[in-house]
Amino acid sequence: MKKNKRYSIFSLLRNARNYHENWAEAWRSPEPKPSYDAIIVGGGGHGLATAYYLAKEHGITNVALVEKGPIGLGNTGRNTTVIRSNYLWDESAAIYELSLKLFEGLSQDLNFNVMLSQRGLISIGHNQHDMREIRRRVNAIRLNGIDSEMLSMAELRELVPILNLSPNSRYPVIGGSIQRRGGIARHDAVAWGYARAADDRGVDILQHTEVTGFRIQGGRVEGVETNRGFIAAPKIGVAVAGHSSVLAEKAGFRLPIESHPLQALVSEPLKPIFHTVIMSATVHVYLNQSDRGELVMGAGIDAFNSYAQRGSPMILEDMLAAAVELFPIFSRVKMMRQWGGIVDICPDASPIIGKTPVAGLYFNCGWGTGGFKSIPGSGFVFAHTIAQGEPHEIAAPFALDRFTSGALIDEHGAAGVAH
């Protein structure tokens, strides 16, 4: 096994000389040890970030990350990569802003270019109610010290000349807001960067290792059963998104989560035509143009529960109708690919982070349609929660027991759209 070398302009030049055939592998593929100090289940962004921060912030390096397939091919590799921290409630603002701040230094921290592009994220309004809601949010967000501004029609026109601002459109645009620090990043790079950096600090990344059950004695977890045998650990963190209910059932408790398909699609590549992210809650669409020139668009969820990673065409049809209404110029663009992911929806549209009824077993789930942006922050507070055995203060409001106490964090309509 070759050493995981630092990436730099020099390593790039060195490897260019060999036609890029001698790059060291980015992470090892070790055999599982019989036991670890901690196991993280789920090799999406949340699990990988958690493993990284366990090693980096808490010195817990004897860690296994267990993933049933290859890492990063769940929702993390399927999402439309919108990043923002303009959430309504203080609890959400705290965690999403922590995440955005970490994102801002992530490429340096991981020595891996996650291609963060803070190109600005625009929300548009189509009626008086939308505008009142947008203004309320802008004010609430600013009170939390997070950047957010109202946009006039003139500013909108200047930022996105191709946006249909005609008063005659079916749902005319009448204003909007912007978070200038919002934007997009490269989803695979986030997964791979965390994996490589975690591996570098000693974490064993075990791909093709599926958790099939938990060993629980006297209410305390002792390890996981997998297709590669039993692996022991006193602390286990689970971050499996759409499969959270399935694993909770194996551990003997219920979650307030339903799994739904969420779809996205990309067009053929175009020359640069717009450089922000645009979302509309009312007509339900969000889109941006990737660095490769493709239009990346996200649709809504199917209303029924599903574990099939595909959504219904009628959902796409609605979304495309909205996209073409807002951007008539795209009406003849060809769509190349479409796919779905299984998102874990909570009744209050906020995540669940922390303890479970089983001692030593922690869950991080319920990010639903919007948990790409939160990967760094979520991993940071979840690692703390697992290491200390007590919730990080930013994670505390997101405990599972909020459904018993009634202290819900209602972020429905925070985005208004699924992303």
If the CB atoms of residues 156 and 241 are measured against ligand FAD, the closer one turns out to be 241
Our CB check for other proteins shows the closer of 69 and 347 to be: 347
Binding mask 200-239 for ligand FAD (x = CB under 6 A): ----------xx---------------------------x
Closest CA to 382 of 52, 97, 82: 52
| Nearest residue to 379 via CA among 37, 409, 367 | 367
Nearest CB to other proteins, comparing residues 121 and 211: 211
Binding mask 38-57 for ligand FAD (x = CB under 6 A): ---xxxxxxx----------
List the single partner that 10 binds among ligand FAD, other proteins, none, CB under 5 to 8 Å by kind: none
Interface residue with ligand FAD, options 56, 68, 181, 260 (CB under 6 A): 68
Point out which span in 6-14, 36-44, 146-154, 321-329 binds ligand FAD (CB under 6 A). 36-44
Residue 281 structure tokens = 């809650």
Q: Which does 66 bind (CB under 5 to 8 A by kind): other proteins, ligand FAD, none?
A: ligand FAD
C-alpha pair distances (Å), 168 with each of 7, 130, 326:
53, 18, 12
The footprint of ligand FAD on residues 70-89 (CB under 6 A) is 73-76, 78-82
Token pair listed for 159: 């930022």
| CA pair distance 58, 149, nearest whole angstrom | 37
Q: How many helices (H) and strands (E) would you count in the chain?
A: 11, 19
How far is it, in rounded angstroms, from Cα 143 to Cα 137?
10
Q: Which option in ligand FAD, other proteins, none does residue 372 bind, with CB closer than 5 to 8 A by kind?
A: ligand FAD
C-beta nearest to ligand FAD: residue: 44
Residue whose CB is less far from ligand FAD, 237 or 391: 237
Q: Do 82 and 279 touch, CB atoms closer than 8 A?
A: yes
C-alpha pair distances (Å), 142 with each of 76, 84, 90, 139, 147: 29, 14, 11, 5, 6
Q: Name all contacts of 162-166 with Cβ < 8 Å and 24+ positions apart.
A: 162/273, 162/274, 162/327, 162/329, 163/124, 163/274, 163/278, 163/326, 163/327, 164/325, 164/326, 164/327, 164/328
CA 50 distance to own-chain centroid: 13
Given ligand FAD, other proteins, none, residue 341, with its beta carbon under 5 to 8 Å by kind, binds: ligand FAD
Positions in the binding site for other proteins (CB under 8 A): 243, 245-246, 249, 254-259, 303-308, 312-314, 347, 403-406
Backbone angles phi, psi at 364, to 5 degrees: -135, 105
Question: How far apart are the C-alpha atoms of 151 and 282, rounded to whole Å?
Answer: 17
- In a 10 Å sphere around its CB, with 0-12 CB exposed, 13-18 middle and 19+ buried, how is residue 164 labelled? middle
Among ligand FAD, other proteins, none, the one that 259 touches (CB under a kind-dependent 5 to 8 A) is other proteins
The minimum distance between CB 343 and other proteins, in angstroms, equals: 12
Calculate the CA 86 to chain-centre distance. Answer: 15
Cβ pair 106, 376 in contact under 8 A: yes
Nearer to ligand FAD, 113 or 309 (CB): 309
| Distance in angstroms (rounded) separating the CA atoms of residues 388 and 385 | 5
Work out what residue 225 binds among other proteins, ligand FAD, none; the CB cut-off runs from 5 to 8 Å by kind: none
The CB-of-239 to other proteins minimum distance in angstroms stands at 17
Asked if residue 402 binds ligand FAD (CB under 6 A), the reply is no
Applying the rule CB under 6 A, the residues between 330 and 389 that interact with ligand FAD are 341, 343, 367, 369-373
Q: In angstroms, what is the minimal distance from the CB of 380 to ligand FAD?
A: 14
**Beta carbon of residue 346, minimum distance to other proteins (angstroms, whole number):** 9
The interface with ligand FAD within residues 240-279 (CB under 6 A) comprises 240-241, 243, 247, 262-264
CA distance 88 to 72: 29
For ligand FAD, the binding residues (CB under 6 A) are 41-47, 66-69, 73-76, 78-82, 210-211, 239-241, 243, 247, 262-264, 298, 341, 343, 367, 369-373, 419
